[in-house]
Amino acid sequence: MGLGLLASRALRSSRLLTSPSPRFSFLRPIVSTPELQNPEAAQAQPEAPPPADLPKRAPVAGARVHFTNPEDAIEVFVDGYPVKIPKGFTVLQACEVAGVDIPRFCYHSRLSIAGNCRMCLVEVEKSPKPVASCAMPALPGMKIKTDTPIAKKAREGVMEFLLMNHPLDCPICDQGGECDLQDQSMAFGSDRGRFTEMKRSVVDKNLGPLVKTVMTRCIQCTRCVRFATEVAGVQDLGMLGRGSGEEIGTYVEKLMTSELSGNVIDICPVGALTSKPFAFKARNWELKGTESIDVTDAVGSNIRIDSRGPEIMRILPRLNEDINEEWISDKTRFFYDGLKRQRLNDPMIRGSDGRFKAVSWRDALAVIAEVIHQVKPEEIVGVAGKLSDAESMMVLKDFLNRMGSNNVWCEGNGMHPNADLRSGYLLNSGISGLEKADAFLLVGTQPRVEAAMVNARIRKTVRATEAKVGYIGPPTDLNYDHQHLGTTTQTLKEIAENRHPFCSTLSNAKNPSIIVGAGIFERGDKDAIFAAIETIAKNCKAIRPDWNGLNVLLLNAAQAAALDLGLVPESQNCIESAKFLYLMGADDVSLEKLPSDAFVVYQGHHGDRGVYRANVILPASAFTEKEGTYENTEGCAQQTLPAVPTVGDARDDWKIIRALSEVAGARLPYDTVSGVRSRIRVVAPNLLRVDEREAATFSSSLVKPEIKQEMSSEPFGSAVENFYMTDSITRASKIMAQCSAMLLKK
Amino acid sequence: MSFTLRSVKVAPNSASLEEARIRVFDFFRSACRSIPTIMDIYNLDDVVTPSQLRASIASQIRKNCHITNPKVIDMLLFKGIEELNNVVEHAKQRHHIIGQYVVGSGGLVQDVGTKDQANSNFLKNFYETNYF
Amino acid sequence: MLARLATQRLLEIRQAFRQIPQTTRSFSTALNYHLDTPDNKPDLPWEFNDANKAKVKEILSHYPSNYKQSAVIPLLDLAQQQHGGWLPVSAMNAVAKVIEVAPIRVYEVATFYSMFNRAKVGKYHLLVCGTTPCMIRGSREIEDALLKHLGVKRNEVTKDGMFSVGEMECMGCCVNAPMITVADYSTGSEGYTYNYFEDVTPKRVVEIVEMLRRGEKPPRGTQNPMRINSGPEGGNTTLLGEPKPPPCRDLDAC
């Protein structure tokens, strides 16, 4: 909520209210409180229905009111407007529905109610005092007044108290310009204060490499305490002391070791908790916001990339109720400095002395085209990286198919992925659908490091409904109570054969949810494991027409789209026989078995692992610099938008392959992104339905070949060793390196 | 600065198109006459020949050959004289001259050759920039 | 002349302002955050002794098993008595473990209440009431007398570890103001007492301190020999005879 918005709303509403009656409009500024002057007359007035010429008010931020039960609707009056709200709404929510934005500091819609800032005071008729609207349930027929002298005076007084101990250091504060306190003191505060004594000062706390604290600015709203306790699940922060000596802290010095800790920066209404990497870098009004998608994991969190000129300054979450709500993980928020380091800017060819030499695009493509014609078609192999967008993967597959090879896959999907049934690789119940589940079985997945937002969703469910969570895999801390059932496939077998105590929990559950980690894709006994899991799903009736509880949690942003586009290698050991390997941003492919005479092309944006073996490097643009489609783990296609220009002589991934195809004499028939997208429409039309979830049509239990495989006794590993460094961008990031050094310390 | 102002006098308006035409030719001649000085003070011998510079000046003038309003011609002429004075007085630097009159607005054209002839527009654009 | 006077006055005013303590008046014995010291570190072992373990069980039995955290205040009190009057971080951690909450939830409670001492106090912790009635009746002088006699500052422990002086809020003894409280931690949680000494004078508090030092038990309650509890000095002055019956109807007669 910006100041401008507030101010304009205040202006607009008053203008709209006064304009219909000219008599009133010139009277109003002079006699501001006719009711106070003549209270009897004001009371004697029959409660008039709102004049017909009053414009209809829209709820704040387009909020939708969802009535679970139509009988539960009650009617309250906000500034004379009748609004229908469900029972159990607070006065503040009722005002929001009525389109009145109530100032608040401690209230946050996703956290529990604290009611300690008192900024949301409103007047309620027949109530002797102003009431804190955030904590007051709305009652039928309540007459709420948000614009009366009493409410205004109350806010002004609260604001004066808040500013008593708040330093006036806005010019050096990083929150300046997007500070709730700043905005609201302009909108609701007084123009002077009466406080002449010394201000309180508080010792700053060390919360780690991500969150900078200036605790003197804290107004004790306890949003961060509640966030840490309720959402992040780390009970580190607390409110210490009492009275004027009250402060937020950890008491014993302790770093905040949550993977969601960056969100306290967003929820802090003042500049007490700000971003350490962003400190003193830019002002928020200098930044250009680009609405994009995060690609560091398979969740596809919606983000806003704030850039200044060619530089990304910070990343903020965007609201998306179905994916990330309004949180993002620390990796998403802070990896951006990796986009400025170790970038590839020029096409390069490895000379005979083993050193790379910068060449022009013309020469680089000519060399590749020459080599690709010298090898046999089946010796051509292409691997898409974990950050690839659907367009470039489509073009890569088309190109290699034209060259006669069908050995193309996406890293992380394993050498024999099951791309036949979409339900076999998607989070079928959806991320928000996980909230309906009442029992979880996590197999070989640690959502906390693999997909922090999914973990937050599971934690929310566990907190709300006390759902039981069973976990098979190496011992780990998931941030919520879970039963560690075992580490090997043995436990899985026991559950499948109904011999395990957890089976009763699963079968008693109404909506059991089984979440399988994508780390299993790399295992040799993948099919057997999936067969066992399907048996479990059948036993506990997890797959029904109204509920599909068999979920696969993917690791990388590219995986789902790659499988949708059919990036499946023809032969399982094509790497061993490859003579020409095209790595499109693939850094985590094991190249040990690659013949030493193979020609490797690395197309990507970072000089990471893939570059060491490359013969030719083609610089590509990162996801912040191009328009690309990504499908997240629940099958929702989303698009990134270019926020900054490309670095050096880099080109978009699909353009490079399109140009190479022409140089190699197998010209692909599209010249524009929309051309590529119409090609995608033929293969996987769901990728073009942006922001829609296309559910898997067939359930995986319908058609299945016989599985003759046996599960090996090898224990489940952890798919992500270091949460902060999973791909080429995050590995190049200094902040992520600091995080892994300080926060992963055991 | 004052020196520049003194040397550039605003001539009275041309009475007719013919008079303006004559003035342009005079200007071209004086520009051509100052070319050797310019070559000298900006040390342009190794990048350009006098005839190339002359052609460049001529083309700048021809760019406006469609103008028939004597007043506009006078105005452009004034700007031209001013520019010439600046150049002759060494009020510019070498790269200004090279950028404006030697390389021209076409930029440094490198890949001129016959090898791109068979390529599609896509590839031609691709070699140049990522944004097309 | 006038200017000089004005400057002097200004200087005086500034001086007066400077003397106002810059820190907020805090009744707590320690800071709101923890600093490691040799005797107060999270990794020092701490647990309830055997006698107190039974008490812990007894305290926990007062609360429903799913609301164990309600026992935090009695348990912290017990831990404080056991640890000689103050709560090291490890004791708070031990309490957190007993009531199964995150340690920070216990720290929050312990920092909130000024009666939980998070820094070392003397065996006899003398608390001087500083609230208005006591202050009017001379609590400042009493505190000064104590501090001067013991040669310490507020919240500082004497060299022999016997005494420390602190301030607290109203203890409800205003009728016998001024008063001090002596928290006696010298014998652990068994002999723990928390006695009020009321109607004290600067002379009397020094006597009390000396008696405590000698191991005697000064009489608690009012120190004014002319008063009995909160009664008026020199005996009752009112309600001397049999009280008259209430001037209302005799209800029994109906």
H or E segment to which residue A410 belongs = strand A407-410
Min Cα distance A164 → chain B (Å) is 53
pLDDT band at C228 (very low <50, low <70, confident <90, very high): confident
Contact between chains at B126 and A650 (C-beta distance less than 8 A): no
A 158-217 residues with CB < 8 A to C: 198, 200, 203, 205
pLDDT, residue A45, reads: 42
- Residue A43's CB is within 10 A of a number of other CB atoms, namely 10
User: Closest approach of chain C CAs to the CA of A466, in angstroms?
Assistant: 14
Residue A131: pLDDT over 70: yes
Taking CB atoms and an 8 Å limit, are B130 and A652 in contact across chains? yes
A205: buried, middle or exposed (CB in 10 Å: 19+, 13-18, 0-12)?
buried
Worst-scoring range by mean pLDDT, A6-15, C146-155, C218-227, C241-250? A6-15
Interface contact C104-A237, CB threshold 8 A = yes
What average pLDDT does the segment C11-40 reach? 67
Q: Do chains B and C touch (3 or more CB pairs under 8 A)?
A: no
What is the distance between the alpha carbons of residues A311 and A250, in angstroms, rounded to a whole number?
35
- Domain contains B49: yes
More confident residue, C219 or C12: C219
Q: Give contacts of C101 with chain A, Cβ < 8 Å.
A: 235
Asked, for residue B65, whether it belongs to a domain, the answer is yes
For chain C, where do the domains classified as CATH 3.40.30.10 start and end?
124-222
Residue A10 has pLDDT above 50, yes or no: no
Chain B nearest-CA residue for A620: B130
Contact B130 A621 (CB under 8 A): yes
pLDDT at B116: 58
Provide the H-helix boundaries in A435-568: 447-450, 452-465, 489-496, 502-508, 526-539, 559-564
Between A694 and B86, the more confident residue is: B86
Which pLDDT band holds residue A705 (cuts at 50, 70, 90)? low
The pLDDT value given to residue C27? 61
pLDDT of residue B14: 83
More confident residue, A19 or C31: C31
Angle between helices A390-402 and A673-683 (to 10 degrees): 80
Reference A304, options A295, A313, A291, A321; nearest CA is A291
Please report residues of B whose CB lies closer than 8 A to that of A651: 126, 130
Q: Which of B111, B122, B130 sits opposite A658 (nearest CB)?
A: B122
Average pLDDT estimate for A314-337 = 93
Domains of chain A, each with CATH number or no CATH: 348-418+559-688 (3.40.50.740), 427-553+702-713 (3.40.228.10)
Q: What is the mean pLDDT of residues A162-166?
A: 91
Q: Report yes or no on B42 lying in a domain.
A: yes
Q: Counting one residue from A and one from C, how many pairs have CB atoms under 8 Å apart? A: 58
Q: Which residues contact C96 (CB under 8 A, 6 or more apart)?
A: C102, C103, C105, C106
> What is the residue type of A165?
N
Cβ of C16 under 8 Å from any chain A Cβ? no
How far apart CA A320 and CA A326 sit, in angstroms, is 6
Question: Residue C104 is nearest to which of A241, A247, A251, comparing CB atoms?
Answer: A251
Interface test with A, best of C104, C112, C118 (most A CBs within 10 A): C104
Which amino acid type is present at position A63? A
CATH of range C50-112; options 3.10.450, 1.10.10, 3.30.200, 1.10.390: 1.10.10
**C163-192 tens-digit pLDDT:** 999 988 888 999 998 999 999 998 888 888
pTM of the model: 0.81
The mean per-residue pLDDT over the stretch C17-43 comes to: 70
What ipTM, to 2 d.p.? 0.83
Residue B117 lies in a domain: no
Categorize the per-residue pLDDT at A4 as very low, low, confident or very high, splitting at 50, 70 and 90.
very low
pLDDT at A421 (0 to 100): 84
Domain that holds residue B88: 2-106
Lowest mean pLDDT among A108-122, A316-330, A684-698: A684-698
Superfamily of C124-222 according to CATH: Glutaredoxin (3.40.30.10)
Indicate the average pLDDT of chain A.
Answer: 87
| Residue A151, pLDDT score | 93
Please report the pLDDT score of residue A314 as a whole number: 94
Say which range, A9-13, A224-228, A551-555, A561-565, has the weakest mean pLDDT. A9-13
Average pLDDT, chain B: 83
Q: Are B28 and B57 in contact (CB under 8 A)?
A: yes
Q: Determine contact: C58 vs chain A, CB below 8 A.
A: no
Q: What percent of chain A has pLDDT over 70?
A: 90
A394 pLDDT more than 80:
yes
Residue C37 DSSP symbol: B
A155 CA: distance to closest CA in chain B (Å): 52
B119 vs chain A: nearest CA distance in angstroms? 8
Does the distance separating the beta carbons of A253 and C33 come in below 8 Å?
A: yes
pLDDT on residue A69? 72
What pLDDT, on a 0 to 100 scale, did the predictor assign at position A700?
52
Interface test with C, best of A197, A242, A257 (most C CBs within 10 A): A242
